[in-house]
Amino acid sequence: MKVAVFFDRDGTLNEEKGDYITRYEDIKIYPFAFEAVRIVNSLGFLAIVTTNQAGVAKGLLKEEDVEEIHRKMKEEFEKNNAKISAFYYCPAHPDHSKEGLDCRKPLIGMALKAKEEFGIDLEKSFVIGDKVEDILFAKNFGGKGILVLTGYGRKSKEEIERIGIKPDFVAENVLTAVEWIKERWEEGR
C-alpha cells in the first residue's frame, strides 16, 4: 500500500485570499510549495490535494470552475517538476448534513476515495493544512496531522490549543512540514 501526503489547498499550497477563489488568476502558489511537493515525490509518496469548496454550494462558482483551477494548478506544479497525483474537493455547504455528503473535512470521504483509487495506507499517511478541520481529518482516518502557520494557521493554532486538539507537528509552512515528514520517515527506516 502507498503512503500519501494530503495537502489542503488555500492557505497551505497557495495564499489564503480571505474569500472564495473563483478563477485560477486569483491563485498565488507559495514559491516553497513546489519544493515541498518535490520532496514528497522523492520519498515515493503520493501528493494529493483535498479541499473544501463550499463556494460551489453557495453558487459563487461551478464545479467546472474548481476543476479548471485544479487542472491549471497541476500544470503549474508539473512545470516546476512537482507531481500532484490528484485533486479532491467537496462542493458541500458547511451544513453538509442537508446535502447527504460525507466529503467535507473533517469527514473522511475524500480520503476514502483516494484510498480506493490509489491503494493508500491511511494510517501511514499525513495531512498538512492550516485549519482545525485538517487536523481532525487526519485524526479521523488515523493519519498524522500537521498544522501550518500560513493562511488561517495562527488563528487555528489558538483554537486547537483552546479545545485541546494536538497536531502531530506545527510547522511554519508547507515546506517545513514536509521536511519534518522526511526526517521522521528516514529515522523510521
% of the chain surpassing 90 pLDDT: 84
pLDDT at residue 90 is higher than 60: yes
Region 14-23: what's the mean pLDDT?
91
What mean pLDDT comes out for the span 137-147? 98
Mean pLDDT within 53-79: 93
Number of independent structural domains in the chain: 1
Residues labelled catalytic: 8, 10
Q: Which domain holds residue 171?
A: 4-187
Q: Residue 31 belongs to a domain with what CATH number?
A: 3.40.50.1000
DSSP per-residue codes, the chain: -B-EEEE-SBTTTB---SS---SGGG--B-HHHHHHHHHHHHTT-EEEEEEE-TTTTTTSS-HHHHHHHHHHHHHHHHHTT----EEEEE---SSGGGTT---STTSSHHHHHHHHHHTB-GGG-EEEESSHHHHHHHHHHT-EEEEESTTTHHHHHHHHHHHT---SEEESSHHHHHHHHHHHHHHT-
> Could you report the per-residue pLDDT of 109-131, keeping only the tens digit for each?
999 999 999 999 999 999 999 99
Give the chain's mean pLDDT.
Answer: 94
Q: State yes or no: pLDDT of 101 exceeds 90.
A: no
pLDDT above 70 covers a percentage of the chain that reads 96
pLDDT bracket for residue 93 (50, 70, 90): confident
Per residue in 30-60, pLDDT tens?
999 999 999 999 999 999 999 999 888 888 8
What integer is the mean pLDDT of 138-162?
Answer: 97
Distances (CA, A) of 156 to 85, 125, 132, 146: 27, 22, 6, 12
Confidence (pLDDT) at 54:
85
